[in-house]
Amino acid sequence: MTFSPVPISGFLVPCNQFILILIVSSSIFTQYLPQTLLPGNPSVAQTPPSLLQRLREHPGDGEAWNRFDSLYWPLLQTWLRRYSIRPQDADDLVQQVLEVVLREMPNFHYDAEKGKFRGWLRGILVNRLREFLRSEQARPIATGDSNFFNKILDQLEDPKSDLSRLWDQEHDQHVARQLLAVVERDFSPTTYQAFLRVMAGDQVAAIAADLKISANAVYLAKSSVIKKLRQEMYGWTD
């Protein structure tokens, strides 16, 4: 199987490796990080708070909520419109979900053993959809069969179902893409290009020569970006 190259910041990155960058999750990044940077280590508490931490600890942080809104609105809309929900209804449902998140976020406590944020959000989405379906009984959606829609919601409610696993996968891919864009702004173009090329499998010596930096600077670029991204992703996908 062959893959077409994808241009990134002036370089061609093989498509399959580029996809790996986009769908990177905490489990992938863990292998690159020193133990001192992993969640649960006291040093993590000394780093600047992630977006999730800011939302929990400072519910009045307007800038953080704007970021959250821009992060999750497209994902939620994609899922709702997949089942032929009318655009206006989809917008209203997304707004309702985000309002519940805003109200309940201070009560959300991240616990990798008991549940992740994406599962908590999925539960809120299911509850709002069930309320919507009850209000729409006279106008069944998509197939014209409300039983079909209830079966979809039952699957989405079950964390072990294929549909819930699809939600988890698409959630993590979406969050990783968005957070990569956020993290990129925190680094110089040279540092970020070095990171992308290392993740794409380029030789360190070649990267250093092309970017006119030392090999050590390449390693530092990878470490710095991964540390920042891991910090930002903590709680969203762990």
φ/ψ (deg, to 5) at 136: -110, 15
Helix (H) or strand (E) holding 6: strand 5-8
Domain residues of the chain, as ranges?
5-233
Contact yes or no for 70/64 (Cβ under 8 A): no
Q: How long, in residues, is the chain?
A: 238
Q: Give pLDDT tens digits for 55-111.
A: 888 888 888 898 889 889 999 999 988 877 888 999 999 999 999 999 998 888 766
Model confidence at 9: pLDDT above 50: no
The residue written with tokens 């794409």 in the block is 200
Residue 145 — pLDDT band, cuts 50, 70, 90?
low
Amino acid at 35: Q
* Model pLDDT, residue 230: 81
* Model pLDDT, residue 137: 54
Model confidence at 54: pLDDT above 90: no
The residue written with tokens 């908590």 in the block is 120
Q: Give pLDDT tens digits for 114-144.
A: 557 889 999 999 999 999 888 865 454 545 5
Q: Nearest Cα to 97, choosing from 77, 111, 83, 67?
A: 77
